[in-house]
Homo-oligomer: A and B are copies of this chain.
Amino acid sequence: MTIEVDYRFPPNIDAFRQAKVIAIGQTAGTWDERFSHREDSLRSHLAEVINVKTDEQGYNIATVRFPEINVENDISSLLTMIFGKYSMAGVGKIVAVRLDNNYGQLPKFGITGIRQQLNVVDRPLIMAIFKPALGLSATDHATILEQVATAGLDIIKDDEIMGDLDTAPTLERLRACRPILDQIKQETGRTVLYAINVTGNAQTLLEKARILVQEGANALLLNVLTYGFSVLEALAADPEVNVPIFAHPALAGALCASGDTGFSYSVVLGTLMAHAGADAVLYPAHYGSLPFDPIEEQKIRDILRSRNVFPVPSAGIHPGIVPQALNDYGQDVILNAGTGIMDHPDGPSAGVQAFFQALDYYQADQSFNWETLPDSALRRALEKFNQS
């Protein structure tokens, strides 16, 4: 049972030396003869440098192996150990973390559980985001939900910046939206998930999550990086929170956008999220509106799936991207669109229809092009989004 971490250093840095600093300084440290009676115990906590190699760009990658007895089977203590003080040395980036399968938590639901809840096994899931992000009332949310849910949407989520605000308090949003979810269920048998944003200080957030679930919330959204991995882990471990948790990547760029410091996106949005108990993880798609490396995106996808966590490529997703997304992802993906659904020229219902029409074409193995399409929600979407 070990933990392996790859640290990448620029060519001018002595990677082996830095890795030794990490292996000792981030674990037991040094000791003198006063502690000779604890020699065995002290040694058992030391990490070791197990490899140093140079990549194609001349960067040096050092692998350090840490003992699992130093940490608490969670992400927070892991982060403190592998990068806590050393991160302030400012000369290395963590590009991979390898954990045992049983490190941390598995999702309560994940891909199979969410599919089971929705009773959808043979296609990707379509997810929308309430827009505008702030300023609508709880009733406005219910109106929008009715439009998209009736049109066949699988999942909707709050915008990540929609907290527990006076204009539309969280519990009011739930109480306004829950009857729509019930109505869809009754009329069509379909389950639609609403991932409601859970916020507050850690104590109030955990209490609020339980209250929301008691009041009928069937999914939660958490900004894991602004609230803390320890909060995700607490939600994932809580038997009362028996609904899927959607992890939002807000703030990930502050940890991952630098070339030489911080973490690779695939570590934070892949490995750490997947071992902290998230059921589905959102992250930028490389064909979306945020700059993103396709290689990192693939890594995130594969890491998440290896633990049954649903990948949710996001940001700039619209119906025209469906063929490429499905080529890249296959079925086990949640396509998450904000304006790509809400800003459809004919309204959110048409936005949802356009996605399903695109899915139909793809599944029938037919390519589509807006100029040759018959008039349809899809054509109208492509006219707008393929050109913007």
Where the two chains meet, the residues of A that have a C-beta atom closer than 8 Å to any C-beta of B are: 26-32, 34-35, 38, 41-45, 69-72, 74-77, 79-81, 83-90, 131-137, 140, 159-161, 163-167, 199-206, 223, 226-231, 233-234, 237-238, 248-258, 260-263, 284, 290-292, 315, 339, 343, 347
Query: A166: which B residues are within 8 A, CB to CB?
Result: 69
Query: A137: which B residues are within 8 A, CB to CB?
Result: 38, 41
Q: How far is the CA of A238 from the CA of B207 in the complex (A)?
A: 14
Number of copies: 2
* 6 cross-chain pairs, A with B, having the tightest CB-CB distances, nearest first: A228-B228, A87-B253, A84-B250, A258-B258, A42-B135, A90-B257
Q: How far is the CA of A252 from the CA of B254 in the complex (A)?
A: 11
* B74 contacts A135, C-beta separation under 8 Å: no
Query: A200: which B residues are within 8 A, CB to CB?
Result: 72, 74, 230
Partner of A74, one of B42, B71, B201, B256: B201
* A29 contacts B203, C-beta separation under 8 Å: no
Query: A256: which B residues are within 8 A, CB to CB?
Result: 88
Could you jot down 18 A-B contacts, CB within 8 Å?
A: A28-B135, A29-B339, A31-B132, A38-B132, A45-B134, A72-B163, A76-B227, A85-B250, A87-B254, A90-B253, A202-B234, A203-B206, A226-B228, A227-B230, A228-B231, A231-B231, A257-B261, A258-B260
Nearest-CB distance from A38 to chain B (Å)? 6
* B252 contacts A262, C-beta separation under 8 Å: no
* B71 contacts A163, C-beta separation under 8 Å: yes
Query: A43: which B residues are within 8 A, CB to CB?
Result: 135
Query: A260: which B residues are within 8 A, CB to CB?
Result: 258
Given contacts A83-B254, A234-B204, A258-B258, contact A223 B76 (CB under 8 A): yes
Please name the residue on chain B nearest to A67 by beta carbon: B134
Beyond A31-B132, A84-B251, A231-B231: 14 further Cβ-contacts under 8 Å? A27-B133, A72-B165, A74-B200, A79-B226, A80-B251, A84-B223, A85-B315, A87-B257, A88-B249, A90-B257, A204-B234, A253-B261, A254-B255, A261-B262
